[in-house]
């Protein structure tokens, strides 16, 4: 290799982790988790920080419910995606 030729430096891409934002309308919390980590860990951490029970919230991505055993990899999440946390509501109209 001559002095004029330099090998391009390889950019290190971090494909093992993903940055996600969880929002419940009043608060936004950012998480960095592995793509293979079950979403349960993110859900539990969010609930603990908000002082809420996991049974009282439902988590949605683009309107689809997120299961606690799903992983970001299974859900095809990208860096910076937003997960919405909504209060679980049971109800309806009795006819």
In this structure, is residue 77 part of a structural domain? no
In this structure, is residue 75 part of a structural domain? no
In this structure, is residue 22 part of a structural domain? yes
Domain harbouring 33, CATH code: 3.10.20.90
In this structure, is residue 72 part of a structural domain? no
User: What's the domain count of the chain?
Assistant: 1
pLDDT score of 11: 46
pLDDT score of 51: 94
In this structure, is residue 46 part of a structural domain? yes
Range of the domain at 36: 15-67
* 4: Cβ contacts below 8 Å, ≥ 6 apart: none
pLDDT score of 91: 75
In this structure, is residue 35 part of a structural domain? yes
Q: How far is CA 68 from CA 12, 23, 72, 92, in A?
A: 30, 17, 11, 25
Write out the chain's pLDDT in tens, 95 residues.
555 566 555 444 568 999 999 999 889 999 999 999 999 999 999 999 999 999 999 999 999 999 999 999 999 999 999 999 999 887 777 66
In this structure, is residue 51 part of a structural domain? yes
In this structure, is residue 36 part of a structural domain? yes
């Amino acid at each position: 290799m001559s002095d004029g030729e330099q090998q391009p430096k390889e950019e290190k891409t971090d494909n093992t982790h993903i940055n996600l934002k969880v929002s419940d309308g009043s608060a936004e919390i950012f998480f960095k988790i592995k793509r293979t980590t079950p979403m349960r860990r993110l859900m539990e951490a969010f609930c603990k920080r908000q002082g809420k029970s996991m049974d009282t919230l439902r988590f949605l991505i683009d309107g689809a419910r997120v299961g606690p055993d799903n992983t970001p990899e299974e859900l095809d999440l990208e860096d910076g995606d937003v997960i919405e946390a909504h209060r679980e509501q049971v109800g309806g109209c009795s006819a």
